[in-house]
Amino acid sequence: MPEPAHKVRVECIVNGQSVSFEAFPLARLLDVLREQLGLTGAKEGCGEGECGACSIELDGALVNSCLVPALQAAGANIRTIEGVANHDRLHAVQQAFITHGGAQCGICTPGMILAAVNLLERHPRPTESDVREGLAGNLCRCTGYIKIFESVVEACHDMTSSRKSEHRA
Amino acid sequence: MQTHIIGKSLPRKEGREKVTGSARYVDDINFPGMLHGATVRSSAPRGRIRAIHFGDGIPWNEFTIVTAKGIPGKNCIALLIEDQPCLAAEFVNHPEEPVVLLAHADKYLLEEARRAVRIELDPLPAVFTIEDSLARKEIIWGADNIFKSFRVEKGNVDSAWASADFIVEGDYETGAQEQLYIEPQGMIARANPSDGVSVWGSLQCPYYVHKALSILFALPKEKIRVVQTETGGGFGGKEEYPSMIAAHAALLAWKSGKPVKIIYDRAEDMAATTKRHPSHTRHRTAVTRDGKLLAMEIDFSLDGGAYETLSPVVLSRGTIHAAGPYNCPNVRILSRAVATNAPPHGAFRGFGAPQSVFALERHLDRVAQAIGIEPAELRRRNFIHQGETIAVSQVIHEPVNMDRLLDRALELSDYHAKRRRLAAENSTGHIRRGIGFASFLHGAGFTGSGEEYLASEVAAEATREGRLRVMAASTEMGQGTNTIFSQIAADALGLSADQIEIVQPDTAAVPNSGPTVASRTSMIVGKLVENAAHEIQQKLFQEGLLTREYSAQDFAAACRRYIDAHGALESLARYQHPGDLHWDDEHYRGDAYGAYAWAVYVAEVSVDTRTAEVRVEDFVAVQEVGKVINPVLAAGQIEGGVAQGIGFALYENVVWQEGRMVNGQMTNYIMPTSMDVPPIRVFFEEIPYARGPAGAKGIGELPLDGTAPAIANAIAHATGVDITRIPVTPEVLLEMLESVHA
């Protein structure tokens, strides 16, 4: 008989704050975020890593939190949708999703926005195929992705022009 | 006064909550002391329940357990009729039919318990196909397995065959399709005899759930409350099934005395909830050698699954749309929805029309081929014009210009040049390219006298601050209800959209504006929003509190004075059926819909003949939907619908085994990803519809109708393969390619 699992204490950084929680080592990080930390922006769409609705950033990589064991969060730097806006100031990607119709029902939106933000941090000037590939792990049933692509391109322009104006300033 | 709100792409009203992750969906909500609920389901397609066994090793005394015996009122999910039990009592009629409900505070233990319950059945013979059901291999529903049938007759079909130059026959099938909203279904309930039953959940139609709960609990209407939480997509999948989940959560809450939450995981959602009806259509068409349609005989069958649910109305829409936007003098459509021992099929965007339109538009390309004319020319010679009659003998009084839509779509897609060039290029290489199109219509609102019976209502209330609160049961599920209603009300009052508040659908607070289905929200309910707003304005005019030209401040001051004098400033708009719309339900003829959207869609595809994979390379969608209220939202509806249509045409294959979906996971039921969609180029022609709010017609379902046949026609053009069923998966196409080239 295997030993019954014991809860372990995990310490990590979530959205810039030190966080500590107790969980079974193989508990899904998605459940910990939603149920223990109250971060319900990550959604469960499939529970098997196909839909990307539970996407978060873990040490800068976009992951499906439904497939990440809680123990793997130990010492990690995590960003969820709740950490994307700068207090009341929306991220350029969030603003673009509102303006350009990137969000419809909104259930894939937190994961999709994190995927887009993650993409633009890796590729500040993505090609169309970069955008398609960068979002390929996030399913959307409402938009047909077209307005999401437009939102990402628009956010990219906004970020580029704001960087330029910062340089000038 | 604020003007020009209509036609402007105002940002989505609830957009900020959605992009920040703060929007609250049902699984984001918890009540103190809440239990989790689970459903134990039938493993067999049909049988008599002999016993229910509760296995060892589970502390059953900690569980709330409900079976059919624990239902206070009638054991049914009331919809059109009351044939579907809430919990199977003596017989099960499909796999995954609910039999036992369990609740516990620990959802992990709950899942172990669910697996420990075994339902012992004496199996009964079952029926799984339309053909076996029609052949009455077993009688599994009613006297003859038929939920509903229709006959449409126009002219005299029988006399037309003799004068035909060509008679073309065809046989077409479409498969089931899963709605695959990304938020699985879920409900939370509170229930007890003194307060009644309240539910919160992901749903499209609050008053459908309300009616079902009232009958299930034998409680008066005022004891039932249904609240819609933010809904992560519906597409029809949350039209009727939420009543079942609400009923289950409420029964567990009633028995336990605690709030109960039921959230389906993806596997349960795909296995148990409704899908698009599989269909089988036969066409027989008489045509002259110059391409004039003489007669169309259409035989249309739907697989309804084990209970009636919405099958009669799905069949109705599919039947009425089966002969398309054409003026054929002689038409006969015979249709029926039949029972099989599969979970009931249900509403899915398009509601029967995508099935019959696929058959028709694929068939017309085959007719064109048979007589040797261009597919576009065949359509052009038969398009409906203003003043002519469609199959159900409805005279189209609105301006309709299918020729213009066709010209524009073919020009934008460079159709004619590509049609010639691609055919020439296809003789070499393993990539074959093709281009095809479909022409179609989609009626907005409930069919026939449906809107008259619904008699929808919308209420409005002005506040002392000069804001307008709009109260309707029409739900936001991503399609833009909140934003569109705000624009319509703001336009009617000359206010900014920020001054409009859309009240959360809650049966305790909003009147019944009908279900959020049938492309009716903008056109039918939107008109009521407009009327309710106008009534508020009229009251202020009549009291002399407002003059024709006013500012937002003037409006607020007038509202304050009115409320001070009268206590409140409210209005209620009721649907009035236009006196010139007549529908004969017995003969299935007349004004089936108040208005139609008209469209022509063009698809360009490439087919890799080595792998039989199809890619949609370009897509042009041209439609006339009346006045477009919000261009970004409207285009979003079309683009999303086209993507679902691409899935319907190419990828989304429900694999059945004895009435059970065996590929019920996102891993092996494939929907389009960001890598799979072509550029989807959306164009609107705008002919304002006099009876629509600010001239708008319905739009939501339209794109599902024409996408799949346009793609199928393009594949046929690319490969020469005679596509007659969808989805055209690589497995299916490979077999067909081999048979063509054998």
Q: How do residues A85-128 score in pLDDT, each as one tens digit?
A: 999 999 999 999 999 999 999 999 999 999 999 999 999 999 99
Measured CA to CA, the distance from residue A160 to residue A169 in angstroms comes to: 14
Provide mean pLDDT across the span B520-537: 98
Residue B17 has pLDDT above 90, yes or no: yes
Q: What is the pLDDT of residues B207-221, one digit of tens each?
A: 999 999 999 999 999
Q: What is the CA radius of gyration of chain A?
A: 17
Q: What is the DSSP letter of A69?
A: B
Q: From the CB of residue B739, how many other CB atoms can be counted at a distance below 10 Å?
A: 10
Contacts B232 to A, Cβ<8 Å: 43, 105-108
Locate the DSSP E strands across B539-594: 569-574, 583-584, 589-590
Q: Do B266 and A46 touch (CB under 8 A)?
A: yes
Provide mean pLDDT across the span B202-208: 98
Contact B641/A at CB under 8 A: yes
Measured CA to CA, the distance from residue B506 to residue B227 in angstroms comes to: 4
Q: What is the pLDDT of residues B580-611, one digit of tens each?
A: 999 999 999 999 999 999 999 999 999 999 99
Nearest to B674 among A34, A40, A135 (CB): A135
Residue B741 has pLDDT above 70, yes or no: no
Nearest to A105 among B478, B641, B642 (CB): B478
Q: Do A109 and B11 touch (CB under 8 A)?
A: no
Measured CA to CA, the distance from residue A54 to residue A45 in angstroms comes to: 7
Nearest to B639 among A99, A107, A143 (CB): A143
Measured CA to CA, the distance from residue A83 to residue A122 in angstroms comes to: 18
Q: Do B679 and A80 touch (CB under 8 A)?
A: no
* Residue B683 distance to chain A (closest CA, Å): 14
- Dihedral sign (CA A142, B247, B149, B586): negative
Nearest to B19 among A80, A97, A133 (CB): A97
Pick the closest to residue A146 from B677, B235, B599, B706 (CA basis): B677
Nearest to B15 among A98, A110, A135 (CB): A98
Q: Do A143 and B680 touch (CB under 8 A)?
A: no
Token digits of residue A98: 């509102």
Instruction: Identify the band that residue B3 occupies on the pLDDT scale cut at 50, 70 and 90.
Output: low
CATH 3.30.450.20 fits A92-162, yes or no: no
Contact B27/A at CB under 8 A: yes
Instruction: Identify the band that residue A2 occupies on the pLDDT scale cut at 50, 70 and 90.
Output: low
Contact B667/A at CB under 8 A: yes
- Supply the mean pLDDT for chain B: 97
Domains of chain B and CATH, by start: 15-23+450-574 (3.30.365.10), 31-124+180-272 (3.30.365.10), 279-447+586-741 (3.30.365.10)
Q: What is the pLDDT of residues B85-110, one digit of tens each?
A: 999 999 999 999 999 999 999 999 99
Reduced to 3 states, what is the DSSP secondary structure of residue B406?
A: helix
Size of interface A-B (CB pairs under 8 A): 173
pLDDT at residue A169, as a whole number = 47
Instruction: Identify the band that residue A3 occupies on the pLDDT scale cut at 50, 70 and 90.
Output: low
Adjacent-strand bridge partners of A28: A69
Contacts B639 to A, Cβ<8 Å: 143-147
* Residue A17 distance to chain B (closest CA, Å): 18
Reduced to 3 states, what is the DSSP secondary structure of residue B360?
A: helix
Surface of A (137-166) touching B: CB under 8 A: 138-149
Task: Summarize chain B as % helix, strand, coil (round to 5).
Answer: 35, 25, 40
* Residue linked to tokens 């995990």: A10
Surface of B (675-704) touching A: CB under 8 A: 675, 677, 679-680
Q: Do B233 and A105 touch (CB under 8 A)?
A: yes
CA B89 and chain centroid, separation: 30
Measured CA to CA, the distance from residue B611 to residue B475 in angstroms comes to: 43
Adjacent-strand bridge partners of B506: B227
For domain A8-83, which CATH number applies: 3.40.140.10, 3.40.50.1370, 3.10.20.30, 3.40.190.100?
3.10.20.30
Distances (CA, A) of A47 to B446, B665, B674: 37, 10, 20
Surface of A (34-53) touching B: CB under 8 A: 34, 39-48, 50-51, 53
Provide mean pLDDT across the span B530-538: 98
- Supply the mean pLDDT for chain A: 94
CA A164 and chain centroid, separation: 26
Measured CA to CA, the distance from residue B363 to residue B291 in angstroms comes to: 14
Instruction: Please state whether the peptide bond connecting residue B727 to the residue before it is cis, i.e. omega within 30 degrees of 0.
Output: yes
Q: What is the pLDDT of residues B695-707, one digit of tens each?
A: 999 999 999 999 9
Q: What is the pLDDT of residues B569-585, one digit of tens each?
A: 999 999 999 999 999 99
Distances (CA, A) of B528 to B292, B455, B523, B533, B698: 42, 11, 9, 8, 14
Contacts of residue B369, Cβ cutoff 8 Å, sequence gap at least 6: B375
Contacts B235 to A, Cβ<8 Å: 141
**Angle A49-A54-A59 (CA atoms, 0-180°, nearest 5)?**
95
Candidates A15, A146, A152, partner chain B, best to mutate (most B CBs within 10 A): A146
Token digits of residue B463: 């506040």
CA dihedral angle for residue B266, residue B267, residue B271, residue B275, rounded to 10 degrees: 30
Pick the closest to residue B311 from B346, B359, B263 (CA basis): B346
Q: Do B477 and A46 touch (CB under 8 A)?
A: no
Q: Do A101 and B674 touch (CB under 8 A)?
A: no
Provide mean pLDDT across the span A23-42: 97
- Give start and end residues of each alpha helix (H) in chain A: 29-31, 92-99, 109-122, 128-134, 146-168
Contacts B231 to A, Cβ<8 Å: 105
pTM of the model: 0.98
Max CA distance (Å), chain B: 85
Measured CA to CA, the distance from residue A105 to residue B14 in angstroms comes to: 10
Residue A168 has pLDDT above 60, yes or no: no
Q: Do B636 and A45 touch (CB under 8 A)?
A: no
Distances (CA, A) of B430 to B490, B560, B608, B610: 56, 73, 6, 7
Provide mean pLDDT across the span B626-646: 98
Measured CA to CA, the distance from residue B475 to residue B512 in angstroms comes to: 11
Distances (CA, A) of B414 to A28, B420, B463: 51, 11, 54
Token digits of residue A32: 């910990």
Surface of B (231-260) touching A: CB under 8 A: 231-235
Q: What is the pLDDT of residues B327-362, one digit of tens each?
A: 999 999 999 999 999 999 999 999 999 999 999 999
Instruction: Give the residue on B whose Cα is nearest the Cα of A52.
Output: B182
Surface of A (46-105) touching B: CB under 8 A: 46-48, 50-51, 53, 80-82, 84-85, 90, 94-95, 97-101, 103-105
Nearest to A105 among B21, B232, B677 (CB): B232
Adjacent-strand bridge partners of A86: A89
pLDDT at residue A148, as a whole number = 98
Contact A22/B at CB under 8 A: no
Q: Do A20 and A33 form a contact (C-beta atoms < 8 A)?
A: no
Residue A1 has pLDDT above 90, yes or no: no
Surface of B (448-477) touching A: CB under 8 A: 477
Q: Domain extents for chain A?
A: 8-83, 92-162
pLDDT at residue B424, as a whole number = 87
Distances (CA, A) of B99 to A15, A112, B486: 44, 38, 44
Q: Which H or E run includes B475? A: none
Q: Do B632 and A105 touch (CB under 8 A)?
A: no
ipTM (interface predicted TM):
0.97
pLDDT at residue A166, as a whole number = 62
Provide mean pLDDT across the span B251-278: 98
Q: Do A144 and B672 touch (CB under 8 A)?
A: yes
Instruction: Give the residue on A whose Cα is nearest the Cα of B643.
Output: A144
Q: Do B182 and A45 touch (CB under 8 A)?
A: yes
Contact A130/B at CB under 8 A: no
